Amino acid sequence: MLKIENLTKTFGSVNAVDNISFTVDRPMMIGVIGASGAGKSTMLRMLNQLETATSGKITVEGRDITGLKGADKRRWQRDCAMIFQQFNLVPRMDVVSNVLHGTLNKRSTLATMFNLYPSEDIHKAIDILDRLGIAAHAAKRAEALSGGQQQRVAIARAIMQDPKIVLADEPIASLDPMNAQIVMDDLRRIHDEDGRMVIANLHTLDTARRYCDRVIGMRMGRIVFDGTPEQLTTGVARDIYGADASFSEAATSTSLDALEREAALA
């Protein structure tokens, strides 16, 4: 259903994404890992068309989505929702209105200007918040919520678009381990229960292993690993991160256990 062929993005002399290809033939949960600057965000941003590819092709269900413009691009961005590390909510706006923003691309400019939302959309937004366990916060301003709660609002906003694909760019990088787990559980659920494809850039190996069906490892713009979590051994991880023998898995972990074990060994 998703095919990426020879995709490249160049910024000046930097090949942020360098001629990558892969195919996904069914909705699954995919983790993308790699060191800072490996090209993970740029790849996701090209998928969502926030960034235009320098060359190469992205095909979804047989349709070429590379270089879409205008209404076609907006329609694609609705089918392919994106979640960011910093949540990207409107801080002073209440939670429900933030979730309703997920419908912006399909509403008229006038309706948007006057914040006119159909009541069925309002009910749908509250149902989604309820499903994610945060309906009690619906009337609060987004800025009054914890980081973990704000990320769940961002997930609710994404689901409001009813997307086929959910892209998550470091969704748990700003969260403590407990909230990170809640957010990852939610992402897994929207894959398992709704059948949506989820592609998440992750800083931490243990998260990729625990939650994903498939892991793609990037290094310097290229794909250097594409396999199952079981195949992601410490040796493979060392190659992906370009680390020497002192490479420590705990340094790429959000798990308190791993960090504490590492500290005890030091």
Ligand X SMILES: Nc1ncnc2c1ncn2[C@@H]1O[C@H](COP(=O)(O)OP(=O)(O)OP(=O)(O)O)[C@@H](O)[C@H]1O
Q: Name the residues that contact ligand X, by CB under 6 A.
A: 11, 14, 16, 34, 36-42
Smaller CB separation from ligand X, 37 or 177: 37
Amino acid code (one letter) for 64:
D
| Residue whose C-alpha is closest to residue 158's, from 231, 80, 222 | 80
Q: What's the closest the beta carbon of residue 38 comes to ligand X, in angstroms?
A: 4
Smaller CB separation from ligand X, 134 or 218: 218
Q: What's the closest the beta carbon of residue 41 comes to ligand X, in angstroms?
A: 3
Amino acid code (one letter) for 189:
R
Smaller CB separation from ligand X, 145 or 208: 208
Smaller CB separation from ligand X, 159 or 223: 223
Smaller CB separation from ligand X, 138 or 237: 237
Q: What's the closest the beta carbon of residue 190 comes to ligand X, in angstroms?
A: 22
Q: What's the closest the beta carbon of residue 51 comes to ligand X, in angstroms?
A: 8
> What's the longest Cα–Cα distance across the chain?
61
Q: What's the closest the beta carbon of residue 37 comes to ligand X, in angstroms?
A: 4
- The percent helix, strand, coil of the chain (3-state, each to 5) is 45, 25, 35
Pairing between β-strand 2-11 and β-strand 14-24 as defined by DSSP bridges: antiparallel
Other C-beta atoms within 10 Å of 94: how many? 16
In the block, residue with structure tokens 């006119």: 116
Across 34-140, the runs of DSSP E, i.e. the strands, are 55-60, 63-64, 80-84
